[in-house]
């Protein structure tokens, strides 16, 4: 039976699947990352196969090495049509230990592509070598990078959102509540851009990772961190950081999620409403964690239709006018 709670105003997929995904990603990954600046600008407008770029062209801040895991990247998925001006950065889940970059990355990017949206899948640093705030710094840099290259990809810099699933949902929510307007005096033009998303799409966000020390998915326990006092945890709880400047947010979750209790999503939604931020939440009765686009579940497959309506209702599919910027 399907129960849907629609309110208007994840942590990670099965561990075995994620570990398998990590193995395949590591096997496919290399240290050579192409640079978009070597490609003609006209190639970006809908007809270029996916390619990957580094978030930092030179030294990476706080890097512990120079390998694949030490270099955050964006994999770019242009739509197979003229872009409509909207872009989305996608943060896959994986408990901040691995990345479910197929179910919660590539597949999500392809879905957005069919709607004329330019998609970017973020490979952020994670694991015990890169505890918070490093993943947040990578997400903020990704927002700046896309805006700095907006013209090349026919993107409206005021229509750059972020989508995240499970742990990536937590990261997206954190990016939407902890941001700045950029450093106008920075030598690096990327750092001059603001890091604030213009909209958020959160799939079963793993907010409990920082709110419940007794949870089986507690962040500090998973990372093996010795010092995690309450003040430290509070900094990484998006529901505590919501203000009237938090971007419009769409949330999707299931009631019987076996890893991430829906209370975290409910608390975030409540904070958004109290701050008068446009928000919509769909809480389904049944469904596993890590469902991505729905994975063929008759009930859950419908959540993307609801998202489609929300994006369309906010005008994010309308063609952006070049004269605006």
Q: How many domains does the chain have?
A: 1
Q: What is the pLDDT of residue 309?
A: 96
pLDDT in tens, the chain (325 residues): 333 333 434 333 333 333 333 333 333 333 333 333 333 333 444 434 578 999 999 899 999 999 999 999 999 999 988 899 999 999 999 999 999 888 899 999 999 999 999 999 999 999 999 999 999 999 999 999 999 999 999 999 999 999 999 999 999 999 999 999 999 999 999 999 999 999 999 999 999 999 888 888 899 999 999 878 999 999 999 999 999 999 999 999 999 988 898 999 999 999 999 999 999 999 988 877 867 776 777 778 889 999 999 999 999 999 877 544 4
| Whole-number Å distance between alpha carbons of 143 and 157 | 10
What is the CATH number for 97? 3.40.50.1820
Tell me, what's the pLDDT at 24?
37
Residues 41, 43, 46: CA angle, nearest 5 degrees? 120
Instruction: Please give the residue range of the domain that contains residue 153.
Output: 4-324
Q: What is the pLDDT of residue 9?
A: 41
Query: Structure pTM?
Result: 0.84
Task: Calculate Rg over the CA atoms of the chain.
Answer: 18
């Amino acid at each position: 039976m399907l129960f849907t709670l629609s309110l208007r105003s994840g942590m990670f997929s099965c561990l075995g699947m994620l570990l398998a995904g990590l193995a395949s990603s590591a096997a496919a990954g290399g240290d050579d990352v192409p640079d978009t600046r070597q490609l003609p600008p006209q190639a970006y407008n809908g007809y270029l196969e996916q390619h990957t770029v580094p978030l930092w062209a030179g030294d990476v801040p706080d890097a512990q090495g120079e390998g694949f895991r030490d270099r955050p990247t964006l994999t770019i998925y242009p739509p197979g049509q003229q872009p409509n001006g909207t872009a989305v950065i996608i943060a896959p889940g994986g408990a901040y230990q691995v990345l479910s970059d197929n179910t919660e990355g590539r597949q999500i990017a392809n879905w957005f592509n069919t709607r004329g949206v330019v998609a970017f899948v973020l490979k952020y640093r994670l694991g015990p070598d890169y505890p918070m705030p490093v993943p947040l710094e990578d997400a903020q840099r990704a927002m700046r990078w896309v805006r700095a290259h907006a013209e090349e990809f026919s993107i409206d810099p005021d229509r750059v959102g972020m989508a995240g699933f499970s742990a990536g949902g937590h990261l997206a929510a954190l990016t939407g509540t902890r941001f700045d307007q950029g450093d106008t005096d920075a030598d690096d033009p990327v750092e001059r851009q603001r890091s604030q998303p213009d909209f958020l799409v959160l799939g079963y966000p793993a907010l409990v990772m920082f709110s419940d020390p007794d949870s089986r998915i507690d962040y500090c326990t998973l990372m093996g961190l010795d010092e995690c006092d309450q003040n430290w945890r509070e900094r990484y709880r998006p529901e505590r950081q919501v203000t009237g400047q938090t971007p419009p947010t769409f949330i999707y979750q299931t009631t019987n999620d076996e890893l991430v209790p829906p209370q975290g999503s409910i608390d975030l939604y409540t904070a958004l409403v109290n701050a008068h931020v446009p928000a919509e939440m769909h809480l389904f009765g049944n469904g596993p964690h890590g469902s991505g686009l729905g994975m063929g579940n008759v009930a859950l497959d419908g959540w993307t239709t609801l998202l489609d309506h929300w994006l369309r209702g906010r005008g994010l599919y309308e063609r952006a006018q070049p004269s605006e910027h």
